[in-house]
Structures are given as C-alpha cells and as structure tokens.
Amino acid sequence: MLKEKMLNALNEQINAEQYSALLYLSMSAWFSEKGLPGFANWMYIQYQEELTHANKFFKYVVERGGKVSLKAIEQMPTEFNDILEVFEKTQAHEQHVTSLINNLVDIAFEVRDHATQSFLKWFVDEQVEEEANVQEIIDTLKLINGQGNGIFMLDREMRQRVFVDSTAAAAE
C-alpha cells in the first residue's frame, strides 16, 4: 500500500505526464501547420511516449492499491516563434519533468518505499535519454542556423522516427 504522501505525488505525476503529452501534441499541430511533417511526426511520437508514461504511473498506482485522482489539465501553448524555440521549450519542459521524477525518488526514499524507488529507476534513466535527444536536435538546429536546406534535411530525418512503447519492454 502506498503512503499518502507518495500516492499524492504519483497522482500529480500522472497529471504532469498527461500535460506533457498534450504539450507535444500541440507542438505537433504547430509543425503540421508550418508544413513540417517530419518535425510534426517527431512531436507526435513524443505525445505517444508521454501517454505511455502516464499510463505506466496509472497502472502502478492501481497495482499498489492506491486511488488514482485525475485533475483537469491546464492549457498548453499553441503558438511558437520558430523551430528552435519549440525545441528549447521542449528541453526546458523535459528538465522540469526530470525535477519532478527526482522529487518522486526523494519522497520514495523519505517514506522508505523501496518498491516505488525501484519503479522510478526506469523514469530516471528515461529522462537522461529524453534530455540528450532534445539537446542533440537543438545543437543541430543551431549548427544549421534554423533555416534553409538544413531544415529540409532534418525534417526528412525526423519523418523516419517511429513509436516504440519503451514502457512495455520495461515491464518484461
């Protein structure tokens, strides 16, 4: 059984993951409007990943006998100035999510919830990968100065990304 402090924090994380999903869906829509299907695809895959993260937290809370408490999701931005800004906002958001995950680990440690500490290790590792992936895109955008043929080529590359439910592999 989850202690109340841990349960409350996990419920907050479910909502944070759902917000993340909708943020990336909003970014995907923005890229689609700009005629950048590859970037739109990349963000749509991010949307799918965040939904699987929310569902992984959801199932964990249920599995541990906790009550899931969903809240309304706040409005996310729908307009951006340029491609680089979208990815810089993505990086800032991923860093925020990392801090939320780290806080969950701290709470699990504080309340001596070893099962939740073990569960959260996957998310700690996932956040390292998320931040690194976004930073690589930011670095590339800066290298090509966010324009021209470089954007065209990066957009084509991003079209190749496919969704893989990494949470399914983690459950095995």
Residue 74 Cα to chain centre, angstroms: 16
Residue 169's pLDDT is 63
164 confidence band (pLDDT: 50, 70, 90) = confident
Residue 171's pLDDT is 55
In a domain? residue 92: yes
Residue 168's pLDDT is 74
How many angstroms separate the CA atoms of 57 and 105, rounded? Answer: 13
Residue 86 is part of which domain span? 4-70+80-166
Q: Out of 83-87, 119-123, 141-145, pick the least confident.
A: 141-145
In a domain? residue 172: no
In a domain? residue 141: yes
In a domain? residue 75: no
Around 147, how many Cα atoms within 13 Å sit in the side-chain half-sphere? 1
In a domain? residue 57: yes
If one counts the domains in the chain, the total is 1
In a domain? residue 171: no
Q: Which residue has the tokens 């409350």?
A: 8
Measured between its terminal Cα atoms, the distance across the chain in Å is 22
Q: What is the CATH number of the domain that holds 148?
A: 1.20.1260.10
**Taking a C-beta distance cutoff of 8 angstroms, is the pair 24, 50 a contact?**
yes
pLDDT single digits (tens) 51-96:
999 999 999 999 999 999 999 999 999 999 999 999 999 999 999 9
In a domain? residue 109: yes
In a domain? residue 114: yes
SS3 state of residue 146: coil
Name the amino acid, one letter, at 115: A
